[in-house]
Amino acid sequence: MKYIDEFQDPDLARRLLDDIHSTVTRPWALMEVCGGQTHTIIRHGIDQLLPEQVELIHGPGCPVCVTPLEVIDKALEIASRPGVIFCSFGDMLRVPGTGRDLFQVRGAGGDVRVVYSPLDALRIAQQNPDREVVFFGIGFETTAPPNAMTVYQARRLGIRNFSLLVSHVRVPPAIEAIMQSPNCRVQGFLAAGHVCSVMGVEEYPELAERFRVPIVVTGFEPLDILEGVRRTVAQLERGEHTVDNAYPRAVRPEGNAAARAMLEDVFEVTDRAWRGIGVIPDSGWRLSAKYRDHDAEHRFSVEGIQTREPAECRSGEVLQGLLKPHECEAFGTLCTPRTPLGATMVSSEGACAAYYLYRRLELTPAPREASPVV
């Protein structure tokens, strides 16, 4: 237990771990959906503190990582156009498109700006009425309500030079797709806490019942993760499969009603492609017809973009929990945060980035032949 002293409350961590160790009688595979949880797990070595029978599989919950290459290329194309101010969250800057990234577009003279909030992008549009301001609207159910509110405000205030390049994704259809995959090994889910802060837990009982899989809403701090694992394993050992909230300080069962109402007004559910995974039915949002004027894809002609994924990148398998990052041959050699093949290596929530940052020196890339640890 080499990392346990770094926990905020080491005694509580030890008690939770002891409980998990004494409960487990056979192997279980749990998936943490959220990339933020993956980073906590790897950073604190939680996967190494758990009993050997409990395996944590990293899920697709990094919004930057699952944004399809085609959308990244559309963003790069729009950001390169004269007269456009392209606004984005900082973690999209170095995500590779086909051949370049937003950082390089800016270096070549594109007006790319980083904002903290989508409302900052709206303000830039107000201040620059003769320019087209486009905001890159990616993210899960946590990020979609702020972006929805911004489009609503643009319409309310009559700000016509503001549009959103939308690539929002939804967690429940992803859980469904994972459970329906023939290679699926997942037996329990740690659901993403902040997604549930917005959406509540109403979408989960049907999934838990249909796939006979426990779903435990889990926070992001090390102790939250241990508690989520403890409750999931306890259900599995008892043969139960219910929805449980291990993050009540931030998650009400109904979520945030005002945010959900805004989502319903501004967006409509659509099929969406996930990078490395493919199209998942009903797994995304797009702007509803009422807000089409603020849809960047509608405003800019960006069809017919030719994308090219690097053949060596296996991030799709990592995102589906079929491969651990260090099992990829390119990990840490061909692919590093400086020379990323895929978004999972550059995103602050990417699984490959987590392994590179916190575990690289302990791991080797997939052995072509068994090679010694460097």
Partner 1 sequence: MCLAVPGRVLDIEERDGTRMANVDFGGVVKEVCLEYLPDLQVGEYAIVHVGFALQRLDEESAKQTLELFATLGMLQEEFGDPWEMAAEAGGTLPPEEEGARR
Pairing label, strands 267-274, 278-287: antiparallel
Q: Determine if 272 is a binding residue for partner 1 (CB under 8 A).
A: no
Minimum gap (Å) between residue 307 Cβ and partner 1: 21
> How many Å apart are CA 91 and CA 65, to the nearest integer?
10
In one-letter notation, the amino acid at residue 130 is D
Minimum gap (Å) between residue 51 Cβ and partner 1: 25
Residue of 43, 112, 48, 26 whose CA lies nearest to 77: 112
> How many Å apart are CA 232 and CA 240, to the nearest integer?
9
Q: How many residues bind partner 1 (CB under 8 A)?
A: 57
Could you tell me how far CA 202 lies from the centroid of its own chain?
A: 20
Minimum gap (Å) between residue 36 Cβ and partner 1: 5
Q: Determine if 143 is a binding residue for partner 1 (CB under 8 A).
A: yes
- Identity of the residue, 25 or 339, whose beta carbon is nearer to partner 1 in the bound complex: 339
Stretch near partner 1 under the rule CB under 8 A, chosen from 164-172, 276-284, 303-311, 333-341? 333-341
User: What tokens does 253 get?
Assistant: 């069962």
Stretch near partner 1 under the rule CB under 8 A, chosen from 20-28, 76-84, 152-160, 311-319? 152-160
Q: Determine if 103 is a binding residue for partner 1 (CB under 8 A).
A: yes
* Beta-sheet strands, E only, within the chain: 28-34, 54-61, 84-88, 111-114, 132-139, 162-169, 188-192, 215-218, 243-245, 267-274, 278-287
Q: Determine if 117 is a binding residue for partner 1 (CB under 8 A).
A: yes
Minimum gap (Å) between residue 53 Cβ and partner 1: 29
Q: Determine if 262 is a binding residue for partner 1 (CB under 8 A).
A: yes
Q: Which residue has the tokens 């069809």?
A: 303
| Residue from 10, 51, 310, 337 binding partner 1 (CB under 8 A) | 337
**What part of residues 32-71 is at the interface with partner 1 (CB under 8 A)?**
34-36, 43, 61-64
Q: Determine if 172 is a binding residue for partner 1 (CB under 8 A).
A: no
Integer Rg of the chain from CA: 21
Residues 6+ apart with CB under 8 A from 256: 145, 197, 198, 200
* Helical axes 144-156 vs 118-127, angle rounded to 10°: 30
Q: Determine if 214 is a binding residue for partner 1 (CB under 8 A).
A: no
The residues of the shown chain that bind partner 1, judged by CB under 8 A, are: 8, 34-36, 43, 61-64, 89-91, 93-94, 101, 103-104, 106-107, 114, 116-120, 139-140, 142-143, 145-146, 149, 153, 156-157, 192, 194, 197-198, 220-221, 249-252, 256, 258-259, 262, 336-340, 346, 348-349
